[in-house]
Amino acid sequence: MFKQFSRSITTKRFQHAAASSTKQSTSHSIPFNNKYNFDLTPPPIHEYWNIYNSSVLFAFIPVFLTISYFAKDLGIGLEGNAGLLDFANSENSPIKNIKFGESQVIGKQE
């Protein structure tokens, strides 16, 4: 009895939802004018992400890993922010010549 009762409620609910969705879709009175020539039948997503397109995408993973591996080896000798601060405090830094509060010269200095 409960099974029959629940089945009648669900069928009425789905019929109501189906009827309301058809009312909403047919209520548009202005037809669609395709003046910019949109593709009204685009390919499904599984046709776009086929084996060719995904293989091009996956081909970049080993390339990225090899570049990052060599960049890690190149960056071992660099000091990072500490090296930049040491250069700014050294005698070679052009920042040492700028006095605080004075205007800076724009362009070439002779």
Distance CA 99, CA 110 (A): 17
The C-alpha torsion from 85 through 91 and 93 to 96, rounded to 10°, is 90
Per residue in 7-56, pLDDT (tens digit) is 776 676 667 655 655 555 555 677 888 999 888 887 777 776 788 878 88
Q: What is the pTM of this model?
A: 0.30
Residue 1 has pLDDT above 70, yes or no: no
pLDDT at 66 over 90: yes
Q: Nearest Cα to 109, choosing from 101, 29, 98? A: 98
Contact 104, 97 (CB under 8 A): no
As given in the structure block, the two tokens for residue 64 are 């990225």
